[in-house]
Amino acid sequence: MSDDYSCTECGACCISDYDAEDYVHLNNEDLARLTPQEQRFFVCTDTTYGSSQHSMQTAYDRADNCRCKALEGKVGERVACSIYENRPDVCRKFEPGTPVCDYARRVAFGVLDR
């Protein structure tokens, strides 16, 4: 990770660029990794199409960002994941400095790193 990418100051990857409460889908391993309390506070279940799809819940912050409910702090200043040790696989795979990271930063802050 480059010094230009301070994840604890950013949080752009935890913001959705569209209004949805299910943009981080959970697989069975993700769900099993979460504690019962984390499941209760952070997971939503959609049964619209006959099977259960679990996802991380989102909420809006004061800056009107649609963000993961597990994200604590102020995006762009100081943030932390409240379930970091148990975070979903998709979050574990997210790498700072990648094109996906750059896209998230561009959407959240208008930052163009490359």
pLDDT at 70 (0 to 100) = 95
pLDDT at 30 (0 to 100) = 97
Running along the chain, 114 residues long, what does each successive block of 10 average in pLDDT? 74 82 85 96 88 88 87 92 96 92 86 57
Q: Please tell me whether residue 89 adopts helix, strand or coil conformation.
A: helix
Q: Could you tell me the sign of the dihedral formed by the alpha carbons of 103, 94, 96, 59, in that order?
A: positive
Domains in the chain: how many in total? 1
- Does residue 53 fall inside a structural domain? yes
Measuring CA to CA, which residue among 1, 22, 4 is closest to residue 109? 4
- At 58, which helix (H) or strand (E)? strand 58-60
Q: Which residues are paired to 74 by β-bridges? A: 78
Range of the domain at 39: 12-109
- Does residue 67 fall inside a structural domain? yes
pLDDT at 2 (0 to 100) = 47
pLDDT at 111 (0 to 100) = 64
pLDDT at 1 (0 to 100) = 40
- Does residue 22 fall inside a structural domain? yes
- Does residue 28 fall inside a structural domain? yes
- Does residue 49 fall inside a structural domain? yes
